[in-house]
Structure formats: structure tokens, C-alpha cells
Amino acid sequence: MLKLRKQKKTIDVEAFIADSYKSLQLVTEEHRKTWQLGQEKAWAVDESKGKISFSFANGAIASAPAQVVGTFQVQAKTFTWGWQHPNVLPQLQRHALRVREFGMQFGADELITQHIPCTERRAWEYTALAMLLAEANGAYCLQTQPDTFVFMTFGEIDLKRPT
């Protein structure tokens, strides 16, 4: 009798993360061209609604569903994943959880360890990975305290231009 074994799929996680980062760079450039991401005069996050909005000097407002990937502490050079983060509402943890599932599937410890040493560049790479895995539309980083940055993904942009 022939027995079939389920083969475990393997990938180069680091290469996948690098490709994710390249994808993030491309979509960010498109957002800069189409609705001026990076030129916003203000941003706001409504955690209860899971929305991020960007206000521009010309009166335009761009908003989108948002998820928290994690937080980066500048001085400590650490990253805390959004899944099970004490300051992140459960409904905002979905994209971070996708990364955790991916990490569990492919044995990537840094993707399944809640609090890890990290550079800002690596925090962007993690966010890019979350964006790709969750099929999000883009990513953003906001400074919430002098030493703390929140890395987020966002979905479909709703752009309201002044009339």
C-alpha cells in the first residue's frame, strides 16, 4: 500500500521579507503620486472604527481601514508585535496575526516572538510583510510619543477632495 506524506512547504523567509519590502516601496510611491501620502498636514486614528485618516493642506482627506502591525521603541531598539499587544485592540491585530501565522508555518522565530530587538528598517520590513500577507493597500508609521512609533497597514483609500 502506498502512503502519501504531506510535504511541508518551505520558502526563504528572508527573501520573502525582502520582496515584501520592495512591494511596499512601489505602492508607497504610487500613493505619493496619486494622493500625496507623506505630504499630509495631520493624521488621525479612530481605534474603535479601525480607521486612519490623513488631512492635507488643500482640504482633501484620505481615509482607510487600518491595522496595527506593531510598535517600535527608538532608544531600546525593540519591536513589539501588534498581536496580543497590551495597547492594541483585538480588532486591530488581524494583520499582525497573519505575520505570526506565517512565522509559525515557516519556523521564523522573530515573527512569533512578541518582543524582539529590532532596527527601524526591520520594523518597516515586518510591516511590509504584513501588508503583503494581508493584501493591504499600503503602510504607514506614526509617532505617538518621542520614542515610540506605531507601524500600521491600511486598506482601500477613500479620498475626499474639496469641492
Domain boundary assignment for the chain: 66-154
DSSP SS3 for 39: coil
Q: What angle do CA 58, 49, 70 make, to 5 degrees?
A: 90
- Confidence band, pLDDT 50/70/90 cuts, at residue 141: very high
> What does the block give as the cell for 52?
486612519
Residue 8: the pLDDT is 57
pTM score of the predicted model: 0.92
> Do 45 and 64 form a contact (C-beta atoms < 8 A)?
no
